[in-house]
Amino acid sequence: GAGVSQSPSNKVTEKGKDVELRCDPISGHTALYWYRQSLGQGLEFLIYFQGNSAPDKSGLPSDRFSAERTGGSVSTLTIQRTQQEDSAVYLCASSLAGQGVYEQYFGPGTRLTVT
């Protein structure tokens, strides 16, 4: 079956430009997450969508970052006016919702390089 997919796999952009990163979750998964990972480090939570509930945006580092999820499926993370410190791997994950433990399935990530 299809896993979580992300595009593009790599993105190089100039400082000050806007970028859009896309995530296609596993079909039927109602929860979707975005994380940021610096080289060899742990994951930094950015935003969490759960069904029709208001997203948890508590991890977004600045107002240059935003995300949306259309139709409860595909999600787009947008970074406006990119800065060099935004360079990282951006990971998307999805999970089933309901009672119990949320086991997250990750995509391969988008490596963003801001020059």
Partner 1 sequence: TQLLEQSPQFLSIQEGENLTVYCNSSSVFSSLQWYRQEPGEGPVLLVTVVTGGEVKKLKRLTFQFGDARKDSSLHITAAQPGDTGLYLCAGATGGTSYGKLTFGQGTILTVHP
> Interface residues with partner 1 (CB under 8 A)?
4, 31, 33, 35, 40-45, 48, 50, 56, 91, 93, 95, 97, 101-109
**Residue 81: is it exposed, middle or buried by C-beta count within 10 angstroms (0-12/13-18/19+)?**
exposed
- Based on CB atoms, which residue is closest to partner 1, 76 or 102? 102
Handedness of CA 42, 57, 101, 52 (dihedral sign): negative
- Based on CB atoms, which residue is closest to partner 1, 64 or 111? 111
**Residue 63: is it exposed, middle or buried by C-beta count within 10 angstroms (0-12/13-18/19+)?**
exposed
CB of 81 to partner 1, least distance (A): 27
Residue type for position 52: N
CB of 100 to partner 1, least distance (A): 8
User: β-strand 43-50 against 65-69: which pairing, if any?
Assistant: unpaired
- Based on CB atoms, which residue is closest to partner 1, 45 or 66? 45
- Based on CB atoms, which residue is closest to partner 1, 17 or 53? 53
CB of 16 to partner 1, least distance (A): 28
